[in-house]
Amino acid sequence: MTEWILTTRVRYWYALGQLAEGIKNEAYAIFLLFYYTTVVGLSGSLAGQAILIALLFDAVTDPLIGAYSDRLRTRWGRRHPLLLAASIPLPVFFYLSFAPPANSSQLQLFLWLTSMTVLTRGAMTLFHVPRLALGAELSSDFEERSRIVTLQMLFSRIGAPEQPASSGSSSICAPRPSSPTAASMQPPIRISPSRCRSASSPRCSSPPG
């Protein structure tokens, strides 16, 4: 890491990568279940099981890819080979998630949905986790990291305009120079009382004192 002040071009090109996760999260959260149960005709229980399997797979692969990326040593660095490796399969698997074979049985649709969502989430993990860690390595300057996070959240909202601000939008943290690069990649989210839906919600309670 360096104390360099990044150019605007570097900041925007890096933050643009958040658009991919925003689009995927938006499509999966809003359209995937509806498409398979209403348009394709898969039963809701099977569709829910398929999505659950993919989420459990995602929960396992995220820390594994993060640890592997931290230990990877290549001539192109630790993060870039994984980013490049995910660039082709990710859009292909994402497209196939919404293109099941015609006239498929319930079992075939279930297997298709399960496999495509698992592969899509796996490819997204291969891209997104190293990219977040790379953002923390672009600079050790606290203010510079804050600028990166701001742009990253902007592209996240562009990619997922219907998602709640606290849902589906991961971003790099902007830790002080002494903190680990990839130990914590989720900045704390502060929610203003005016944006709370219910005053009884635990997340909307006022801080003590």
Give the DSSP per-residue string, 141-189: -HHHHHHHHHHHHHHHHHH-TTS-TTSS--------TTS-SSS------
131-180 pLDDT per residue, tens:
887 777 776 667 776 777 777 777 666 655 565 544 344 444 444 444 44
Biggest CA–CA distance in the chain, Å, is 62
- Domain extent listing, the chain: 8-204
Burial (Cβ within 10 Å: 0-12, 13-18, ≥19) of residue 35 = middle
The mean per-residue pLDDT over the stretch 186-196 comes to 43
Letter for the amino acid at 63?
P
- Burial label for 142, CB within 10 Å (0-12, 13-18, 19+), is exposed
- Cα separation, 30 vs 28, in Å, equals 6
pLDDT band at 20; cut points 50, 70, 90? confident
Q: Are 93 and 127 in contact (CB under 8 A)?
A: no
Q: Rounded to two decimals, what is the model's pTM? A: 0.66
pLDDT tens readout for residues 91-122 = 999 999 999 998 899 999 999 999 999 999 99
Residues in Cβ contact with 208 at an 8 Å cutoff, skipping those fewer than 6 apart? none
Higher pLDDT, residue 70 or 136: 70
> How far is Cα 148 from Cα 49, in angstroms, rounded to an integer?
37
What pLDDT was estimated at residue 99?
A: 93
- CB-CB contact of 32 with 51 (8 Å): yes
Determine whether 112 is exposed, middle or buried from the number of CB atoms within 10 Å of its CB (0-12, 13-18, 19+): buried
Q: Which fold has domain 8-204?
A: Growth Hormone; Chain: A; (1.20.1250)
Dihedral over alpha carbons 107, 20, 166, 186 (to 10 degrees): 110
